[in-house]
Structure 1
Amino acid sequence: MAQETTTLSSSAQQTRSSWPALWALVIGFFMILVDATIVAVGVPAIMRGLDADVNSVIWVTSSYLLAYAVPLLITGRLGDRVGPKWIYLIGLTVFTLSSLWCGFAGTITLLIVARVFQGLGASMMTPQTMTVITRTFPPEQRGRAMALWGAVAGIAGIVGPIAGGLLIDGPGWEWIFFINVPVGAVAFVLALRLVPRLETHSHRFDILGVLLSAGGMFAIVFGIQQGESYNWDTWIWGLIGSGVALMIAFVVWQRLNRSEPLVPLALFRDRNFSLSNGAILTVGFMILAMQLPFMLYAQTVRGFTPTQAALLMLPNAIVGIILAPIVGRLVDRYHPRYLAGFGLLVDAVALVWASLVLRPDTPVWQLLLPLTLLGVGTAFTFGPIGVSANRNLPLHQAGAGSGVFNATRQVGSVLGSAAIAALMESRLAAELPAMPGGASPSESEFGTLPPQLQDGFATAMSQSLLLPAAVIFLGFIVTIFLVAPKHLVAGRAGGSH
């Protein structure tokens, strides 16, 4: 009886502390997501500051995303075993110290290495936020909690470039990393005080699964991103093929592993979990793949400063912030198919529209219209998809489910970064065969282009935007097959009597 009373008291304590704990966690979550996108606006400045070419700077993003994505499969489980609070705090410490290292990096190589450690810290933090939601909020409140999580994810992708522009034009590109230090310190204190200790579950770790997935992802991403640089030689295709083979071997091993696989394939028996992972993959792809060509166009063709280029995203951010609480209230009341499907379709339309108006002489107001529409679509995607993924998972698989879902989103970002880098380089080579002096576009130090080259560069960036548009449309098709959550089905059944 005493044990029961203790358990009930602990449960009540967790319920009371759920919202303050979530707010404490999303501060760090917001910071790491901003960091995933903030580099996009700083590409020209980092190239100039560290004397690097565009492909090297793309690795500043890709190395972070790759180090972020691969460990997510195990850090979710680690949170279940050690406790989400402690894994989150360790990850936050690693991320914050690595941010300091990034700011002091004097070469592109050191910056890429520091970004790897940043990604490792982020991978420890992210799954714990979704785990806390699943394990501390009652089912009827999880929709609103996950909507907050989703809104933070969506807004971070928009705010990142704006914050980056202001910092780059002010104290310098190094401050897009230094800014994380005071924010990380505040987030650490809040999480230490407000996040409850949760019951732990024993897990074994699938080391072979980690090696297979890490090797496969690295081979695929490196091959896609470096393919254009090596003229798509046979060994590049062999590397990509090897990566695919390793990922197939990973899936087979997960099925054969009778102990405790890294990815419990039983999770995918839930239809909405499987479909939501497919949808969030396309969202992760889209967010990274649209920002790089747009920011290069704004700064290189239009001659905007980083702040001016980033402020083009301001209407996008404002719309997302306004709509986020509205969508949060809708998530528990309406079919996720309609909410997420609407958002993804709007995103696809907005990107095609942006591609059509990306010209050297386009009035600024015509650029703002599709970007604003993109904010509407993004506001309707993260929350409904996140809720659909995790609503039906048992509590003991919360960490595994969170890890898989976040890993899927980050894999999408990694693939988006690699694919858009390859596509941009290919289109630049086609539209601008040689820069002045005979340099290739990827080797040139980007500044404002002379008028005779602006049209070709704008065309290359415009064509590149069609890739994320096509991928996000695939996400829309996936969401058509989502099914209504049990409480909505039960509600309709009750109303029919």
Structure 2
Amino acid sequence: MTTTATPVAAAPGARPRSRSLAWVLIAVGVPMFMVTLDNLVVTTALPVIKTEIGASLSDLSWFVNAYTLPFAALLLTAAAIGDRIGRRRLFVAGIALFTLASAACALATEPWMLTAARAVQGVGGAMVMPLSLTLLAAAVPERMRNAAIGIWGGISGLGVAVGPVVGGAVAEGLHWTWIFWLNVPIGVLAIVVVRLVLTESRGSAKRLDPIGLVLVSLGMFGLIWGVVHGSDDGWTSLSVLGTLIAGFVLLAAFVAWERRAPEPMLPLRLFRSRAFSAVNVVAFLFSVGVFGSVFLLAQFFQVVQGLGPFGSGVRTLPWTAAPMIVAPIAGLLVGRVGSRVLIVLGQVLLALGLLWIALVSTVDVGFGSLVPAFVLAGIGMGLTFAPLSTVALGSVDPGSQGMASGTLNMVREFGVAVGVAALASVFASQGSYASGTSYVDGLVPAVLVGAAVVGAAAVAGLLLPGRRYLTTPNSSH
């Protein structure tokens, strides 16, 4: 039996058409998978790229940051533009830009070329990520939405899970350029599927808010640039401190402007919803604690135990692959037990998993001692992804779902940047890369801090509304 989904909030004049749920998930999931994959896929190939194109250590950091900075800074802006000009239209444009930039990355022969192409990739990724979730919500009937978002969360988890593994496998078995060439045929096919399967939809606001777009984009760019460079350049250096202050000032100006803008890109009334405010707090704390810890743990097997990039990526799979299985299940359970139970339970399991890792980590710890903790943390992540998105969309009216998705993704990406920088600073204060022992000396206190932050996310999750809230989305909260 084929399950069909009908569009919601279609553009004026658009002709509704029935689509199978499987094709809808392919249309929104494949582009989002490419975007999440490329967030991490290059990291394990950096040593090979360094040798091939003569890159410096500074270049290597920019190969990662050039993607991360525009991606995180432009998420909210892309969601706002998509609401105005058409979500499917901007989604397709984002896939096309990402695909072309991937080809440019593969063709790069100088470090600056790869850096520039990665930046364009980040812009395309910012256009894809928030609109993927919004288009899914618009294309799926309400009765199937929780399950669909759960599957979407699993696909997102798959991108995170296989990124380091794919990067390591390609770098060791093929040529590093294939990391990017693989995106080209997939991107072309994705554009065709999106145009055939998805119907256009828009948000409630009709006009752009150019002042708001500029203020929030520059403000987020300043904050993320400062956070990313803080641990390396020094938190009190002029460049870092200056960009952080500028970022805060610009975001304060953005909030002030949104209060008086005739058609604000981010209506501040959304934050009157306890659910919307609380879910963004949880998302930020969750991202800080988890991804800051993952950043250090991902290097543990290479730095301390001497494994290659592919072997290291495989050993993280008990953690990173678990969300692929758990997230769809969480989507099915949301309507029965409510998001609050799943989110709080997820954070508790994550905190326990991180605490376990910190307590058993030594230079010669066996992989078997880490597997239960990795599985525990992976289950916690899987219980978190889908319910966070469900609450964010369910706490606003359909016309504001694009902005809700953009805000949630922006907060999460900012949390990732803060987590990596903050826990790297904790690591540097207690340890170093000089030896395996020194690395573990820094790793343990950093992961303990990560566990404490995730514990705070569990407490914040208690502020979320209970089960009844989820069965009546878009109601007054």
TM-score for the superposition, normalised by structure 2? 0.88
CA deviation vs aligned residue, 1:423-445 (integer Å, no higher than 9, x gap): 55x34xx534xxxxxxxx6xxxx
State the alpha-carbon separation in 2 of the partners of residues 48 and 347 from structure 1: 37
Matched, 1:244 2:226: no
State the alpha-carbon separation in 1 of the partners of residues 350 and 237 from structure 2: 36
SS at match of 1:360: coil
2:431 partner amino acid: E
State the alpha-carbon separation in 1 of the partners of residues 470 and 291 from structure 2: 34
Q: Residues 46-61 of structure 1 correspond to what in structure 2 (within 5 A)?
A: 46-50=49-53, 52=55, 56-61=59-64
Q: 1:458 aligns with which of 440, 443, 448?
A: 440
Relative to structure 1, the CA distance from residue 284 to residue 172 in structure 2 (aligned partners, 3 Å threshold; closer, same or farther) is farther
State the alpha-carbon separation in 2 of the partners of residues 333 and 94 from structure 1: 40
Residue 156 of structure 2 corresponds to 153
Relative to structure 1, the CA distance from residue 52 to residue 283 in structure 2 (aligned partners, 3 Å threshold; closer, same or farther) is farther
Matched, 1:87 2:59: no
SS at match of 2:213: helix
Relative to structure 1, the CA distance from residue 129 to residue 477 in structure 2 (aligned partners, 3 Å threshold; closer, same or farther) is same
Q: What displacement does 1:50 show?
A: 5.0
CA deviation vs aligned residue, 1:111-132 (integer Å, no higher than 9, x gap): 2222211111011112222222
Residue 197 of structure 1 corresponds to 200
Residue 266 of structure 1 corresponds to 269
SS at match of 2:336: coil
Residue 120 of structure 2 corresponds to 117
Matched, 1:64 2:42: no
Residue 4 of structure 1 corresponds to none
Q: Which moved more, 1:263-272 or 1:225-234?
A: 225-234
Contact kept, 8 Å, 1:358 with 1:459, in 2: the verdict is: no
Residue 431 of structure 2 corresponds to 431
State the alpha-carbon separation in 2 of the partners of residues 109 and 157 from structure 1: 26
Q: What displacement does 1:162 show?
A: 1.9
Residue 296 of structure 2 corresponds to 293
Contact kept, 8 Å, 2:14 with 2:199, in 1: the verdict is: no
Percent identity of paired positions between Structure 1 and Structure 2: 29
SS at match of 2:79: helix
Q: 2:465 aligns with which of 483, 492, 495?
A: 483
Q: What displacement does 1:33 show?
A: 0.8
Q: What displacement does 1:68 show?
A: 1.1
Matched, 1:319 2:301: no
Root mean square deviation of aligned Cα: 2.9
Residue 365 of structure 1 corresponds to 368
1:243 partner amino acid: G
State the alpha-carbon separation in 1 of the partners of residues 148 and 155 from structure 2: 11
State the alpha-carbon separation in 2 of the partners of residues 229 and 146 from structure 1: 38
2:464 partner amino acid: L
Contact kept, 8 Å, 1:286 with 1:472, in 2: the verdict is: yes
Contact kept, 8 Å, 2:426 with 2:446, in 1: the verdict is: yes
Q: What displacement does 1:488 show?
A: 5.9
* Unaligned runs of at least 5 residues, structure 1: 1-6, 433-440, 442-448, 491-497
Higher RCO, 1 vs 2 (CA within 8 Å, ≥6 residues apart): 1
SS at match of 1:381: helix
1:237 partner amino acid: L
State the alpha-carbon separation in 2 of the partners of residues 418 and 203 from structure 1: 38
Q: Which moved more, 1:54-63 or 1:99-108?
A: 54-63
Matched, 1:23 2:26: yes
State the alpha-carbon separation in 2 of the partners of residues 363 and 245 from structure 1: 48
State the alpha-carbon separation in 2 of the partners of residues 186 and 471 from structure 1: 41
Relative to structure 1, the CA distance from residue 349 to residue 107 in structure 2 (aligned partners, 3 Å threshold; closer, same or farther) is farther
Q: Which moved more, 1:215-224 or 1:273-282?
A: 215-224
Matched, 1:305 2:308: yes
Relative to structure 1, the CA distance from residue 232 to residue 396 in structure 2 (aligned partners, 3 Å threshold; closer, same or farther) is closer
CA deviation vs aligned residue, 1:175-210 (integer Å, no higher than 9, x gap): 322222222222222212212233675532222223
Residue 106 of structure 2 corresponds to 103
State the alpha-carbon separation in 2 of the partners of residues 117 and 303 from structure 1: 34
Relative to structure 1, the CA distance from residue 241 to residue 318 in structure 2 (aligned partners, 3 Å threshold; closer, same or farther) is closer
State the alpha-carbon separation in 1 of the partners of residues 45 and 343 from structure 2: 31
Relative to structure 1, the CA distance from residue 463 to residue 167 in structure 2 (aligned partners, 3 Å threshold; closer, same or farther) is farther
Matched, 1:407 2:389: no
